[in-house]
Amino acid sequence: MKPFAYTCLLLAFLLFACKKTVILPLNAVPPQIVIQGEVTDRPGPYSVNINQTINFYADNIFPPVPGAVVRLSDNLGNTDSLTETSPGVYTTHTLQGARGNTYTLSVSVNNKQYNATSVMPEPVMLDSVGFESITAFGQRRISAITYFQDPAGTQNYYQFKEYINGELFTKDAFVFDDRLSDGKYISNTLRMDSSYLNPGDQIKVSMYCIDKNVYNYLFQLQQSSGGGAFNTTASPADPESNISGGAYGYFSAHTEQSKNVVVY
């Protein structure tokens, strides 16, 4: 309901809303393990990042967790022991991701064991990328639109990422599921609340086909990521991870399609 949020914004604008930064007495939390790993249908190596949570008001430097034993395996019996290539970053050697396979991640660190499983779905072709422009509050807002054909009869889950000059531009988990769109030709707008594209920007748009658990994780992440002044989720919570053992983060086996385009 993004348009609805816009309308609320419009109303707030009329109602003389004012906005300021406040310092809140937020509790300190003991550091927790955060694991993010992925396997794609692109050639490896793939990597798994392990680091720690920090307090809300700390600088965004997330301490890496070195010295973990990390393994990735598939349902065909291939296993890869990952090497720590830089602090907290563990990289595969031989494993090759392929559609339809089930991947299992196992991490052993500080005498604790974390496991996760993800199934790489069948790929869906990203057809093309277009743009739309909306002018509101005197500001022109350009958003990218992704076009693709959703396969009928299967449940499909998608994740999108936008990069400008190689740098990740999406600060939000862009996910889409075909629950209400099964078998349709989809035009999905990657609409952002605060930052916009400019004509001439070189961008890369990636579309991942993800499994249901990863979709649920990212959907919940999106729901509890703050949002606008109105219409915020009443009870934000940590998303349900597909990693067992109590770690934050997720493990995703997905296909990847990308397009490089110039914003017009």
Residues of this chain, 17-36, that bind other proteins according to CB under 8 A: 17-24, 26-29, 32, 34, 36
Containing H/E element for 5? helix 2-14
Q: Within positions 173 to 212, which residues make up the interface with other proteins, using CB under 8 A? A: 173, 179-189, 194
Mention every residue, 6+ apart, whose C-beta is less than 8 A from residue 23: 57
C-beta atoms surrounding 116 within 10 Å: 25
Rule CB under 8 A: say whether 89 interacts with other proteins. Answer: no
Rule CB under 8 A: say whether 44 interacts with other proteins. Answer: no
Rule CB under 8 A: say whether 3 interacts with other proteins. Answer: yes
Q: Within positions 234 to 253, which residues make up the interface with other proteins, using CB under 8 A? A: 234-240, 248-250
Q: What b/e string do you get for 193-229 counting C-beta neighbours within 10 Å, with b at 16 or more?
A: eeebbeeebebbbbbbbbbebbbbbbbbbbeeeeeee
Rule CB under 8 A: say whether 228 interacts with other proteins. Answer: yes
Count the site residues for other proteins by CB under 8 A.
91
Q: Within positions 97 to 156, which residues make up the interface with other proteins, using CB under 8 A? A: 130, 132, 134-138, 145
Nearer to other proteins (CB atom), residue 78 or residue 133: 133
Nearer to other proteins (CB atom), residue 58 or residue 262: 58
Q: Which residue has the tokens 């531009």?
A: 169
Q: How far apart are CA 92 and CA 96, in angstroms?
A: 9
